[in-house]
Structure 1
């Protein structure tokens, strides 16, 4: 899923996931008096208005962060990350791994007024997928190549949806037929594209279905939308007809719009009892007092599977935000960006610790660092974690450059001034031979709204220019209003609309439990995040970015992905093949992983490790289901104890799985 940097790194209600769900979960009890359950009303802030509640279609986290609380799928993750039944009470898979059959529990649709609309049936899941396909869902990439006949329907080769491998066997049994076995298929059922839709209601609402209004959808999940006023307030109330309402402990949720201009107010309102948790900012003047008054309550959450990176625009077409005055300057920058040694030199010159410190402070800067697109511990390969396998593959690609490679989280594995200068020397010789004049100017857009994000951009600029020299590379900050900034980065729907040379605006979290969920986003044919590289999907017409794709060798990357995806009977071999593809991606220097979500300092009254844990999936982590509030702030001691117990339980579960 695509993530917006301001929303995920600043202060949005995603903080709940970082503290109590995504990347965490469970210690059921605490001996401390402060864990006594208190209010059933949760309050915090949000920073971006949702623009759609069409949960089968929208891919943006700023929408799905809400619909996760409005809807359920067949399965969900428990607090240890295990998949358990949600709308499905049981399921089975055929011996050949191609057919998945789910038995539904008795559950109701609820309208926005809290009235029962009708029963949830197997046909609703068929309707949901058809609606997604007919609406050209942004999530289609998750299942298009998986479900039998779906690609033909989406591409127009067949007009009959009955040919697609989803069917209602009876009112309470839904069945999916796959093209090839996917050991990770069930994790996809937590994604919105596979959620049910009531056909009668869909037809009744017509074009108004899924709009960002309370009455545009029916509800199958733990909450109903009570109130939404743009750039003002968002409120939920517990769904009175929810099938699992006994596990909905927080009855009311309220988010107040926050534009990032006054981060000090977050803690002040937490102290005043207005907010249930709050980010704290070590670089702000008021932090010393916060640390003095509440130091024992400051918690650094765990890193999550969401990765934020810096991307290069490989085929820039828009120049509304630029310092370049001539076509020659634009062409020189484009040539430089298409040069591999130049890209790697820039990346090796970025001090990630200094960059991260602008958000979480010097003491905590390493706690959010990431060096690979895929979280290193995502899967295990041949007895070690996936990140170690990517390191091995990098050494095979270039034993000199990667002799000491370290992709582990929470340390800077790429910053190397000596390597940066050596790579730049090669790049400069190659580019001068091609007529490029120096310095090369790189436009880096940023929203002027957030001082934290502006300071991160300034840190990146300082680092690159000090290592490579201002006579060689200049990073030009393009500060603009938040709407324009988002439109040319996060909200850009085409590569040609991406108005930057380098950008740190977006990130990615996996949709299902397989490395392909990370790596397919840059597939040159249909990758969902090609726009962040300034590229277009191949489509049926002329690919205007074909030359740029060829120049950086993305055809080779596509071949590596294809070979990995073809391995369906041996997970070790499959993951090793994907590690080879990721090594190619990192070595190509098209994008630089910088940091994850999580790892940020906060104070909270949410009982730690109570919500769903999931490395992947669109709709498991981030729900307020199962979360509880306590009457006093959680102490760091309580949080560490809870996390230790949770990690131990996770290890026990993993060992049992390995022994099967």
Structure 2
């Protein structure tokens, strides 16, 4: 069968914003397994605490939430076969289909109430903010995030198959947002039994999604096999997925050439070599990388310094001459082709652009910001340290 070689999803967004890149799908290898090459290992398979893209990919393959996305990016029913919304738009009632975890335990509404409340009350859950007014707008979420741990989220298991969510205010994108892994269910009895080991090994996990993780050699390989107890198992056509952790794109490209890998991403140094290969393909993807300022640094507390650093980056030059991987310049934090705006168009088409000064214009603006920052900080020069992960295209 024809194999596909992917261009790197290298969405470098230095400092504040730069671009969104490309990626592709895979198909079956010989037999009924697919072998993928990924540059990073999974950090955690616990949907409550995972923060990285690789972990999200593997979690989404093994655990399913209320809603999910189809191949075209449309939100479609998953564990919730239907839902109702109150007239005021504040109460969502989800009706769960018959489904079970891979240990034979039924998936119930209580799995969602447990997971959501456990997430928002744990400071280690970085994406807990998505329950509040910056995300799903669930009632009581802002108060809990502010420290009121006596409260619970305004969610309820009305019965085993009925899950009710009350919002503090209308949230038009609520149903779309809950397809994100932090809103996935967790079986309380199993998670409690595993304790602090839950989600850290293949033996400390159960699945309710299309696949289950059967092997995980840290830093080396993950093996997923079809979950026969998945409610829609008859439509899962691939029996298993081998995920090899290969940090170097050049190595995974050689594995592809030798037939040992069905899918790999390319970095910018390999594009020219493979761009004429029939297996080479690119797909624009709503994926972004950015650098986070450390506000504990006395210099970076200065707004003009941060603007100088951000503005001096020539995003156009970066995507065209450094990344060379199909990434495009992006003028706002929401990348192109990620979401539709209120006008029905791609959000990026009508949203304001904040970083649209390039080349000489950007350099001139950066100099002005830097001059102001030096005056305000009372310095002529500063030294900053940059921490980044050891993978392409970092």
Q: Report if the CA contact (8 A) 1:269-1:275 is conserved.
A: yes
Aligned: 1:338 with 2:302: yes
Q: Report if the CA contact (8 A) 2:40-2:54 is conserved.
A: yes
Match of 1:350 in 2: 313
Structure 1 position 52, deviation (Å): 2.1
1:178 pairs with 146, 157, 167, which one?
167
1:267 pairs with 253, 257, 268, which one?
253
Per-residue CA deviations over 1:508-565 (Å, capped at 9, x if unaligned) read xxxxxxxxxxxxxxxxxxxxxxxxxxxxxxxxxxxxxxxxxxxxxxxxxxxxxxxxxx
What stretches of structure 2 of length at least 5 have no aligned partner? Answer: 1-7, 12-21
Match of 1:57 in 2: 49
Q: Report if the CA contact (8 A) 1:307-1:370 is conserved.
A: no
Q: Report if the CA contact (8 A) 2:191-2:198 is conserved.
A: yes
For residues 125 and 248 of structure 1, what CA distance do their matches in structure 2 show?
Answer: 24
For residues 187 and 414 of structure 1, what CA distance do their matches in structure 2 show?
Answer: 33
SS of 2:10's partner is: helix
Q: Report if the CA contact (8 A) 2:38-2:264 is conserved.
A: no
Q: Report if the CA contact (8 A) 1:73-1:194 is conserved.
A: yes
Match of 1:236 in 2: 224
SS of 2:105's partner is: strand
SS of 2:157's partner is: strand
Structure 1 position 19, deviation (Å): 1.0
Match of 1:218 in 2: 206
1:387 pairs with 345, 348, 351, which one?
348
Structure 1 position 67, deviation (Å): 1.0
Aligned: 1:300 with 2:282: yes
1:277 pairs with 241, 263, 267, which one?
263
Per-residue CA deviations over 1:351-410 (Å, capped at 9, x if unaligned) read 33443356643xx55x43322211255333557654354448x6xxxxxxxxxxxx7xxx
For residues 231 and 85 of structure 2, what CA distance do their matches in structure 1 show?
Answer: 25
SS of 2:60's partner is: helix
Structure 1 position 196, deviation (Å): 2.0
For residues 66 and 321 of structure 2, what CA distance do their matches in structure 1 show?
Answer: 41
Aligned: 1:202 with 2:191: yes
Specify which structure has the higher proportion of helix.
1
Structure 1 position 158, deviation (Å): 5.8
For residues 88 and 253 of structure 2, what CA distance do their matches in structure 1 show?
Answer: 55
For residues 29 and 239 of structure 2, what CA distance do their matches in structure 1 show?
Answer: 13
SS of 2:290's partner is: strand
Match of 1:125 in 2: 112
What stretches of structure 1 of length at least 5 have no aligned partner? Answer: 1-6, 11-16, 22-34, 112-116, 318-333, 395-406, 408-412, 454-504, 506-660
Q: How does 1:36-115 map to 2 (within 5 A)?
A: 39-111=31-103
For residues 259 and 87 of structure 1, what CA distance do their matches in structure 2 show?
Answer: 35
For residues 316 and 429 of structure 1, what CA distance do their matches in structure 2 show?
Answer: 18
SS of 1:277's partner is: coil
For residues 63 and 36 of structure 1, what CA distance do their matches in structure 2 show?
Answer: 22
Structure 1 position 92, deviation (Å): 0.9
SS of 2:254's partner is: helix
Instruction: Please give the root-mean-square deviation of Cα atoms over the aligned residues, in Å.
Output: 3.3
For residues 215 and 191 of structure 2, what CA distance do their matches in structure 1 show?
Answer: 22
Structure 1 position 109, deviation (Å): 1.0
Structure 1 position 206, deviation (Å): 2.8
Taking structure 1 as reference, are residues 368 and 389 closer, same or farther at Cα in structure 2, changes over 3 Å only?
A: closer
Structure 1 position 203, deviation (Å): 2.9
Taking structure 1 as reference, are residues 182 and 274 closer, same or farther at Cα in structure 2, changes over 3 Å only?
A: same
Structure 1 position 253, deviation (Å): 0.9
Taking structure 1 as reference, are residues 39 and 359 closer, same or farther at Cα in structure 2, changes over 3 Å only?
A: farther
Per-residue CA deviations over 1:157-188 (Å, capped at 9, x if unaligned) read 46364xx3211222211111111111111112
Taking structure 1 as reference, are residues 165 and 426 closer, same or farther at Cα in structure 2, changes over 3 Å only?
A: closer
